[in-house]
Amino acid sequence: MGKRIQEEIIKSIFFIFALISVFTTFGIIFVLLFETIQFFKEVSIIRFLTEKEWTPLFAVKKFGIWPLLSGTFLTSLIAILISFPMGLSIAIFVSEYMPFKLKAIIKPIIEILASIPTVVYGYFALLFVTPLLKKIIPSISGFNALSPGIVLGIMIIPTVASISEDSLSLIPRSLREASYALGATKLETVFKVVLPAASSGILSAVILGFSRAIGETMIVTIAAGQRPILTLNPLIPIETITAYIVQVSLGDTPTGSLEYKTIFAVGMVLFSITFTFNIISHNLRMKFIKSFKL
């Protein structure tokens, strides 16, 4: 009898541990919603969506989210432009061309690339890539969107490459063999048969990479500057949502003040965007896996 009670107690404790993840999700949504509603009690949502400047820390306060959004999307877009062609061709090369033994060496290297703390990438962007860009484009500012965008791109190559590679490896051999039998070369098979078949898996990799770039904080905080400007010019300072949250957190903002609430309001925007992209990416991948695993 004692054994059974012990069994039940342990099971219940572990159940509560498993529920912590649910509490975390609800906690995040509750905290963000609660403070965001407080924020919109003081600043109308119309100002948030229509004003073209973001200056809550200045004397003349403007609360338009667009400059932060444009900064976030600009750096993430540059990151995807870098990491998509690179990640995909690395994935194709690793899954279709590379001998098995080399794979065993390349994979840990890619894992190490993925384990480097982002503050280190930030250092690299500000003190290595930006000076390098300055030699090529003399008009570029010390803080700009291009340099952190490029480094963000390098950072998410592992994400894009590994998920794309997983997708490619799911494509059945028979499809490739049919293509070879018709006289196609390996490259033609990859581009005309394998890639179209794996397209939704690869799309899911790109969306996930984009979402990672949007949520990344330290690289853009260090190298992109802290000037929320509504622009798509990659050569001048901008500010992302994440960098704004850090900027406020570093100052002595009293809890409960309007400035304090702004970080939750923009946090809510950030969470909604990344959450949507993650769900789309996850669903695409699940659908893709299901279509090939019988």
Partner 1 sequence: MKDVKELIFKRKKREKLFIVLSLFFITFALMSLLLLIVSILVDGYSVISIKFLTSYPSRKPEEAGILSALVGSVYVLVIMILFIVPIGIGAAIYLEEFAPKNTLTHFIEINIVNLAGVPSIIYGLLGLEIFVRFFGLGRSILAGSLTLSLLVLPSVIIATREAIKLVPYSIREASLALGATKWQTVRHQVLPVALPGILTGIILAVSRAIGETAPLITIGALTYIAFLPTTPLSPFTVLPIQIFNWISRPQKMFHKNAAGAIIILLFLTFMLNLTAIILRNYYKSKYRL
Residue ranges in 26-85 that form contacts with partner 1 under rule CB under 8 A: 27-28, 31-32, 34-35, 85
Query: From the CB of 157, what's the least distance to partner 1, in Å?
Result: 6
Torsion angle defined by CA atoms of residues 78, 84, 86 and 88, in that order, rounded to the nearest 10 degrees: 180
Give the span between the Cα atoms of 247 and 253, in whole angstroms.
10
Stretch in the footprint of partner 1 (CB under 8 A) among 4-12, 49-57, 170-178, 229-237: 4-12
Q: Which is nearer to partner 1, 144 or 221 (CB)?
A: 221
Stretch in the footprint of partner 1 (CB under 8 A) among 48-56, 162-170, 174-182, 263-271: 263-271
- Return the residue of 37, 97, 175, 178 that touches partner 1, per CB under 8 A: 97
Encoded tokens for 125 = 């962007």
Query: From the CB of 136, what's the least distance to partner 1, in Å?
Result: 16
String marking each residue 271-290 x if it binds partner 1 according to CB under 8 A:
x--xx--xx--x--------
Q: What per-residue string of b and e applies to 127-140 under the rule 16 or more CB within 10 Å gives b?
A: eebbeebeeeeeeb
Per CB under 8 A, contacts with partner 1 among 225-244 are 242
Query: From the CB of 179, what's the least distance to partner 1, in Å?
Result: 13
Q: Which is nearer to partner 1, 110 or 230 (CB)?
A: 110
Backbone angles phi, psi at 240, to 5 degrees: -100, 170
Q: Does 187 bind partner 1 (CB under 8 A)?
A: yes
| AA letter at 157 | I
Encoded tokens for 279 = 């769900």
- Return the residue of 202, 206, 208, 238 that touches partner 1, per CB under 8 A: 208
Q: Does 116 bind partner 1 (CB under 8 A)?
A: yes
Query: From the CB of 190, what's the least distance to partner 1, in Å?
Result: 8
- Return the residue of 64, 67, 122, 237 that touches partner 1, per CB under 8 A: 122
Residue 54: beta bridge partners? Answer: 63
Give the span between the Cα atoms of 169 and 149, in whole angstroms.
29
Q: Does 178 bind partner 1 (CB under 8 A)?
A: no
- Return the residue of 43, 214, 238, 284 that touches partner 1, per CB under 8 A: 214
Per CB under 8 A, contacts with partner 1 among 136-155 are 154
Residues near 115 by Cβ (< 8 Å), separated by ≥ 6?
none
- Return the residue of 39, 73, 124, 143 that touches partner 1, per CB under 8 A: 124
